[in-house]
């Protein structure tokens, strides 16, 4: 086990921890072990074959390697620091972005840290005080938050230093720390509330839904943030309203405004004070509540008392109607059930579905609203509905993964000829269960916004989406559904393929747009899509008929 | 029952526990003395794991009196855990660590020094013929190997009470002999062992006292010979069946086979 740099930094605060009544050596050891384990989040299948027994030195950390993406996002958002002199606006937007990035990363990646139930039986049964355990967990989270925030904020910080001076820089640093505190507390509180009022499986589902809801809310919150400022006049005007007291980024913006341009008035001072007081108060509350969260985590490990007895008849009729062979229909129902019940799968996939719902609207509102809602009905901006497919490639890629990947031995031992029915059933289930409802909801809203005349276009776009999904399946690396561990997901270098597929989706949209400019163009495009999709369902799986994929993990 | 003049290490009095309206424990009274190997048995869902988790401070919200070494679990003072070793039912380990890293870590949590923990862990691993995988990651281990690591982790700090939940699962016959013998020796040295299992033959052989839990209540408590005398049955399995009111195993088996042959 290596000595991490983070731990050496931590040592400097030793006195502080001891003063808080924490058993420092034990806490340090727990954090060290946790960091070591994170660094090894590498698929077991790679380990086994490559290095047999002396796999001591695993250099680097998957998480740290993925940080560059956040650096780029941060770089884009530093634009706001460069833009103008309205500090309130700039800082609010910038912190809105940073908090959004950090919070979503926190929920999607760190729920596993916060909710690790192994800690209960391994750590809680040892002679360690509750306070030390709580602190170890908190420190673990903060170390990651430090890297994450650092990556997002490094470019904005540098830009701020050069453009706005040292005062801006120092204030931003302080506010970043405060906002990180707030984020940790908010996340933990969220879990605590959910854990308190529900139990067992219900609770795991709840976390999923909260995550999805959160993703959507935060994304929509952006729009609110941008609309805070009246763009109609050339200079940006801020109108204080009561609900702005609820938006943490606005507090931060006010803090910048108050301290660097001290002429704002009491509203700003009040808002600025919130940005300091609330995170600190929240953190104290957090330290008090953490043991309660730990206790409630036990619920995650307990079997849920009541299980719903769904008939499954409707599902069977659906699968028999959609699938051509009994085997395919069996795999359809299998995939359907797993997608609905596997927590980790939902945790990984559903938030991206949230994005899918929101994306078309973001484009719609940022591009098409110049003339207000009445103005859009005549335009062809409804084609933005194609953006609801933007997550299809990653969705289909995720189908391969499962936390119970080892159970994939059933594919080997069952007397199945060829893998076509497996893939086809799973892809169908994924489309019908996840994409179809999403698209229907989206289309319904669009139909209301644009009028019933766009219905044919929406149907055609729906078919095109199906064709797109098949293309995604063809281009992405194949792997039996639910047969690989989630840890392997980071290992695939499929980013380029996914980007390419997203461009392809744009291509579909563009083609559709061109078709609308020609007489009977949409009809022709629609026929093309229907034929293409029909052929796709027939052909795309044919190659899988005979040869079998290499087995992951030597199952 | 083994007679002893010492104070009980564990004392449960009228222990009750309910989960969301379902009463799991219904007034359990139990005193455990040093040197006893208690076979803690009962049907699935009888409340065995819950009892153990309460004593470990993992589950709170119980009613009644619980004392472990005179301390109350969950009162904030975790120091009594130093004298407890625990093997959970499901092999929960930080399995991305190597056996050396994991065991050293656990030893340190119990207050051993790094070197001491590592040395003891290495020696025990070697005795369990796992010396050559000491530096391998636990993910690569078989079920039996993981179980051995768990057993070692519960013994590193020389505890006075051992909570073992299905400790032999996955072990080969030779290792089972080793562990059974080891438990007998540990008990002879005055350690109390709390042994939950569904394998009645083993419980019958190694336990000095058998406690049968059913429906959240203790329905039998005594040595195997005492239970046999009370129930006029030959084996612990039969006593178990009789006390839990289960006597239709032949009918059920017959029906199962007839279903199998329908295809």
pLDDT score of A548 = 45
B97 touches chain A (CB under 8 A): yes
Residue B210 is assigned to a structural domain of this protein: yes
Three-class secondary structure assignment of A228-253: CEECCCCCCEECCCHHHHHCHHHHHH
Share of chain B above pLDDT 90, in %: 41
B119 touches chain A (CB under 8 A): no
pLDDT in tens, B2-45: 455 578 899 999 999 887 677 888 889 999 999 999 999 988 87
Chain A residues in contact with B60 (beta carbon < 8 A): 295
Min Cα–Cα distance to chain B from A291, Å: 10
Show the domain range for B241: 10-89+160-260
Q: Are B46 and B213 a contacting pair, CB within 8 Å?
A: yes
Min Cα–Cα distance to chain A from B41, Å: 20
pLDDT score of A52 = 37
Chain B residues in contact with A126 (beta carbon < 8 A): 78, 81, 106, 109-110
Q: Is the pLDDT at B69 greater than 80, yes or no? A: yes
Q: Is the pLDDT at B103 greater than 80, yes or no? A: yes
Residue A239 has phi, psi (to 5 degrees) of -110, 115
B199 touches chain A (CB under 8 A): no
Chain A residues in contact with B132 (beta carbon < 8 A): 53
pLDDT score of A269 = 79
B113 touches chain A (CB under 8 A): no
**pTM of structure:** 0.71
- Label residue B158 by pLDDT band (50, 70, 90): very high
A304 touches chain B (CB under 8 A): no
Nearest residue in B to A41, CA atom: B96
pLDDT score of B188 = 93
Q: Are A130 and A49 a contacting pair, CB within 8 Å?
A: no
Nearest residue in A to B78, CA atom: A127
Instruction: Tell me whether strands B10-19 and B22-32 are parallel, antiparallel or unpaired.
Output: antiparallel
Subunit contact A121:B86, Cβ cutoff 8 A: yes
We report the CATH number of the domain holding residue B192 as 3.40.50.300
Q: Which of B82, B39, B62 shows the shortest CA–CA distance to B183?
A: B39
pLDDT in tens, B205-225: 889 999 998 888 888 888 888
Digit-by-digit pLDDT tens for chain A (555 residues) are: 566 788 888 888 888 888 888 889 999 999 999 888 877 764 333 433 343 333 334 445 556 666 776 787 777 777 777 666 677 777 787 888 788 778 777 766 666 676 777 887 788 888 888 788 888 888 888 888 888 888 888 888 888 888 778 888 888 888 888 888 888 888 777 777 766 676 556 656 666 666 666 666 666 666 655 655 544 433 455 666 666 677 788 888 888 777 777 666 777 777 788 888 888 888 888 877 777 777 776 666 665 555 555 657 888 888 888 888 888 888 898 898 888 878 778 777 877 787 788 778 777 776 655 555 666 666 778 888 888 888 888 888 888 888 888 888 888 887 777 788 889 899 999 999 989 998 999 899 888 888 888 888 899 999 999 999 999 988 887 788 888 887 776 666 677 888 888 889 989 988 998 888 888 888 899 999 999 999 988 888 875 544 444 444 443
Q: Is the dihedral of CA A150, A154, A156, A157 positive or negative?
A: positive
Which among A29, A120, A127 has CB closest to B78? A127
Chain A residues in contact with B97 (beta carbon < 8 A): 33, 36-37, 40
Subunit contact A124:B57, Cβ cutoff 8 A: yes
Which among A30, A36, A298 has CB closest to B58? A298
Residue B208: C-alpha distances to residues A143, B193, B222 (Å)? 50, 10, 8
DSSP B86: E
Which among B19, B56, B135 has CB closest to A56? B135
- Label residue B255 by pLDDT band (50, 70, 90): very high
Domain ranges of chain A: 5-51+62-301, 313-554
> Could you tell me which residues come within 8 angstroms of residue A553 by beta carbon, excluding any fewer than 6 positions away?
A44, A45, A48, A405, A406, A484, A485
- Label residue B177 by pLDDT band (50, 70, 90): very high
- Best interface-test mutation with A: which of B77, B101, B109 has the largest number of A CBs within 10 A? B109
Count the domains in chain B.
Answer: 1
Chain A residues in contact with B140 (beta carbon < 8 A): 44, 47-48
B76-80: average pLDDT: 76
Min Cα–Cα distance to chain A from B14, Å: 23
Chain B residues in contact with A305 (beta carbon < 8 A): 19-20, 22
CB contacts < 8 A, A to B, total: 91
> Could you tell me which residues come within 8 angstroms of residue B255 by beta carbon, excluding any fewer than 6 positions away?
none
Chain A residues in contact with B77 (beta carbon < 8 A): 129
Residue B134 host element (H or E): none
Cα separation of A411 and B195, whole Å?
38
Residue B22 is assigned to a structural domain of this protein: yes
pLDDT score of A267 = 73
B178 touches chain A (CB under 8 A): no
Q: Is the pLDDT at B192 greater than 90, yes or no? A: yes
Which among B109, B132, B140 has CB closest to A128? B109
pLDDT score of A186 = 82
Which among B59, B94, B109 has CB closest to A37? B94
Nearest residue in A to B86, CA atom: A125
Subunit contact A44:B106, Cβ cutoff 8 A: no
Min Cα–Cα distance to chain A from B155, Å: 12
Cα separation of A521 and A539, whole Å?
26
- Best interface-test mutation with B: which of A25, A30, A33 has the largest number of B CBs within 10 A? A33
pLDDT score of A493 = 66
Q: Which pairs with CB-CB distance under 8 Å and at least 24 residues apart come from A80-86? A: A80/A156, A81/A156, A81/A159, A81/A160, A81/A163, A81/A164, A82/A159, A82/A163, A84/A236, A86/A235, A86/A236, A86/A238
Residue holding tokens 């350690």?
Answer: B191
DSSP A42: -
Min Cα–Cα distance to chain A from B263, Å: 16
């Amino acid at each position: 086990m290596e000595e991490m740099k983070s731990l050496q930094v931590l040592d400097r605060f030793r006195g502080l921890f001891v003063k808080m009544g924490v058993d420092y050596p034990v806490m340090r050891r727990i954090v060290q072990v946790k960091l070591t384990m994170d660094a090894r989040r590498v698929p077991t299948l790679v380990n086994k074959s490559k290095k047999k027994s002396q796999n001591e030195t695993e250099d680097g950390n998957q998480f740290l390697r993925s940080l560059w993406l956040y650096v780029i996002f941060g770089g884009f958002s530093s634009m706001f620091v460069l833009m103008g002199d309205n500090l309130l606006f700039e800082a609010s937007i910038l912190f809105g972005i940073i908090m959004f990035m950090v919070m979503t990363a926190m929920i999607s990646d760190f729920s596993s840290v916060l909710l690790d139930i192994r800690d209960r039986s391994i750590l809680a049964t040892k002679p360690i005080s509750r306070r030390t355990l709580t602190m170890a967990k908190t420190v673990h989270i903060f170390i990651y938050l430090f890297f994450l925030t650092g990556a997002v904020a490094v470019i904005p910080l540098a830009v701020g230093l050069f453009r706005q001076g040292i005062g801006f820089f120092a204030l931003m640093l302080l506010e970043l720390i405060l906002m990180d505190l707030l984020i940790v507390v908010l996340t933990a509180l969220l879990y605590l509330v959910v854990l308190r009022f529900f139990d067992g499986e219900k609770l795991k589902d709840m976390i999923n839904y909260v995550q999805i809801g959160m993703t959507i809310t935060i994304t929509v919150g952006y729009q609110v943030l941008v609309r805070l400022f009246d763009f109609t006049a050339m200079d940006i005007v801020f109108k204080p309203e009561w609900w702005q007291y609820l938006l943490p980024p606005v507090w931060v913006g006010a803090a910048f405004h108050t301290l660097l341009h001290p002429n704002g008035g009491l509203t700003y001072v009040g808002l600025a004070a919130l940005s300091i007081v609330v995170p600190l108060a929240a953190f104290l509350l957090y330290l008090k509540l953490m043991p309660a969260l730990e206790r409630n985590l036990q619920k995650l490990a307990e079997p849920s008392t009541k299980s719903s007895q769904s008939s499954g008849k409707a599902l069977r009729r659906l699968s028999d109607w959609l699938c051509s062979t009994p085997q395919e229909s069996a795999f359809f129902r299998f995939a359907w059930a797993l997608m609905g019940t596997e927590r980790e799968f939902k945790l990984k996939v559903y938030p991206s579905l949230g994005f899918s719902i929101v994306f078309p609207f973001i484009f719609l509102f940022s591009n098409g609203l110049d003339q207000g809602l009445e103005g859009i009905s005549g335009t062809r901006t409804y084609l933005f509905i194609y953006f609801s497919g933007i997550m299809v490639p990653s969705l289909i890629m995720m189908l391969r993964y499962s936390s119970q990947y080892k159970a994939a031995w059933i594919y080997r031992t069952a007397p199945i000829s060829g893998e076509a029915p497996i893939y086809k059933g799973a892809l169908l289930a994924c489309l019908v269960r996840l994409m179809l409802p999403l698209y229907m909801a989206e289309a319904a809203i669009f139909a209301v916004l644009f009028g019933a005349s766009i219905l044919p276009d929406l149907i055609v776009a729906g078919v095109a989406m199906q064709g797109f999904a098949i293309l995604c399946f063809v281009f992405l690396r194949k792997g039996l559904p639910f047969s690989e561990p989630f840890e392997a997901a980071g290992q695939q270098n499929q980013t380029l393929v996914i980007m390419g597929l997203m461009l392809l989706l744009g291509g579909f949209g563009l083609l559709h747009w061109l078709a609308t400019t020609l007489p009977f163009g949409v009809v022709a495009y629609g026929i093309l899509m229907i034929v293409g999709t029909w052929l796709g369902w027939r052909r795309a799986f044919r190659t899988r008929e005979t040869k079998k994929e290499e087995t992951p993990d030597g199952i | 029952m083994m007679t002893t003049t010492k104070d009980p290490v564990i004392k449960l009095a009228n222990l009750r526990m309910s989960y969301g309206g379902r009463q799991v424990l219904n007034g359990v009274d139990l005193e455990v003395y040093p040197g006893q190997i208690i076979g803690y048995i009962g049907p699935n869902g009888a409340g065995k794991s819950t009892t153990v988790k309460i004593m470990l401070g993992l589950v709170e919200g119980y009613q009644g009196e619980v004392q472990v070494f005179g301390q109350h679990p969950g009162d904030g003072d975790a120091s009594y855990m130093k004298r407890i070793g625990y093997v959970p039912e499901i092999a929960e380990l930080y399995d991305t660590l190597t056996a050396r890293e994991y065991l050293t870590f656990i030893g340190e949590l119990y207050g051993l020094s790094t070197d001491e923990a590592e040395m003891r862990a290495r020696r025990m691993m070697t005795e369990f013929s796992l010396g050559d995988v000491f530096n391998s990651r636990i993910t690569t281990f078989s079920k039996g190997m993981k179980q051995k690591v768990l057993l070692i982790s519960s013994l590193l700090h020389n505890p006075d009470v051992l909570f073992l939940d299905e400790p032999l699962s996955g072990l080969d016959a030779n290792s089972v002999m080793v562990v059974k013998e080891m438990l007998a020796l540990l008990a002879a040295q005055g350690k109390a062992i709390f042994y939950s299992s569904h394998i009645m033959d083993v419980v019958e052989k190694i336990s000095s006292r058998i406690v049968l839990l059913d429906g959240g209540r203790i329905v039998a408590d005594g040595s195997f010979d005492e239970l046999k005398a009370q129930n006029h049955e030959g084996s612990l399995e039969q006593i178990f069946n009789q006390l839990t009111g289960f006597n239709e195993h032949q009918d059920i088996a017959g029906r199962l086979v007839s279903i199998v042959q329908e295809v």
